[in-house]
Amino acid sequence: MTISSSDAFVFFGATGDLAHKKIFPALQAMIRRGELDMPVIGMARAGWTVDKLRERARDSLEQNGGVDADAFVRLSAQLKYVDGDYRDPATYESLKQALGGAARPLNYLAISPSMFGTVVQGLANAGCAKEGRVIVEKPFGRDLASAQALNRTLHEVFQESEVFRIDHYLGKEAVQNLLYFRFANTFLDPIWNRHYVDNVQITMAESFGVQGRGAFYDEVGTIRDVVQNHLLQVIALLAMDAPAGRDPESMRAEKLRLFRAMRPLDPAQVVRGQFRGYRDEAGVAADSRVETFAALCLHIDTWRWAGVPFYIRAGKCLPITATEVVVDLKCPPLAIFDEISPATSNYFRFRLSPEVVISAGARVKQPGEEMRGEPVELIARHEPRSKKLPYERLLRDAIRGDPSLFTRDDSVEAAWRVIDPVLGDAEPVSEYEPGSWGPATAARIVSGDEGWHDPKPEETAPC
């Protein structure tokens, strides 16, 4: 079956923060590469004009990567603006006129999820949804029940094949590299299982706080913000079996199988923390119990991974900004030369941000007469010459109708089933000092003697 590309790009919330930081830079990059030759229609209720929107676009580009003069001229020529209330049918009639002859618009809802139902019904009533597609931003609900309700709302107007749930993390080059490394190297698969892997650790650390988004963050928290989506997606790429084919649905079917095998989280294996000073942030409740740090242990009930703990740690105001995966392999069964602890045994390390690094930990003999060893690391470091923005990759794929990097409705709901038991503030939240690795109680999540692997600044390779 031939999939037709969209012939117009409509983004609701064109005057908002997401459009300013992410969408305009992605649109300019796509135009520069010759991947966006269609009307670009901004929708908002701001009392603006198209000239005001062009000024906003230029300001966005100046602050996020720079203005490409030729590409910006083309973007300005393609840009249109429709101002109006999303509850007013006249707004969608104006959109229909702006679309002109375009029959397959891609509608990006960069707005509050509470308005999704209103907008998709408005699109349908005006005839702007037929043959169209829709992109929705995370979070896809606040829990399982709200995610199911959101999916029902979208499916009233759009078929599942026309819905693109965007998680920018899946568009990152480093995350794509992780998937490629898994299935393009034959040496990995024989040891990528419970017989050789001792544990898997994922750390997503941010050295900054909520950056003026206190009101938003106090409604979300770390588990909803990054664990349910970004980090469970990373685990899926690490733990899934090879897909049956290269088509998008084969890939998404394997992810779904993996999500369904994840055991719902046990509150006893979760530690929640809040950095000191968080409650002083604007928009944050004075008695807030929302977590800015979470550490947890996840289990996957498959033959490949039964008994292997997957440890997740994420938080703000930590010592470094970095996302890193460490896959610890088991120690040799006998100590022939010297004792080897899990912390100094073999491992694979994947640095996903800010650098892209893949490394393998091994042991070599120390110089001298004694048969004693020391750990070394074999490192592959990527320095991409032309780095595509995650939103550029994802918007391009949505325009083409390629769902490979987008999340399906059943996978979203399966991920919420994993997280649901630990949502809310029933469990205590422990205060931790900014610049530390979270509350001291997080140490109990990791069993055995190895402890957490703290990401460190990457050393620059010598010239």
Active site residues: 230
For residue 361, list its beta bridge partners.
347, 377
Interatomic CA distance for residues 27 and 399, integer angstroms: 12
Is residue 328 within 8 A of residue 463, CB to CB? The reply is: no
Question: Which residues touch 416 (CB under 8 Å, ≥6 apart)?
Answer: 141, 143, 144, 147, 228
Interatomic CA distance for residues 11 and 16, integer angstroms: 10
Is residue 157 within 8 A of residue 121, CB to CB? The reply is: yes
Q: Find how far residue 190's CA is from the centre of its chain.
A: 28
Q: For strand 163-166 and strand 133-137, is the pairing parallel, antiparallel, or unpaired?
A: parallel
* Strand ranges across the sheet with 79-83: 79-83, 40-44, 8-12, 105-109, 133-137, 163-166
**244 half-sphere exposure, CB direction, 13 A CA radius:** 6
CA 194, 249, 408, 25 dihedral sign is positive
Interatomic CA distance for residues 243 and 255, integer angstroms: 9
Q: Find how far residue 284's CA is from the centre of its chain.
A: 24
Nearest to 43 by CA among 79, 70, 69: 79
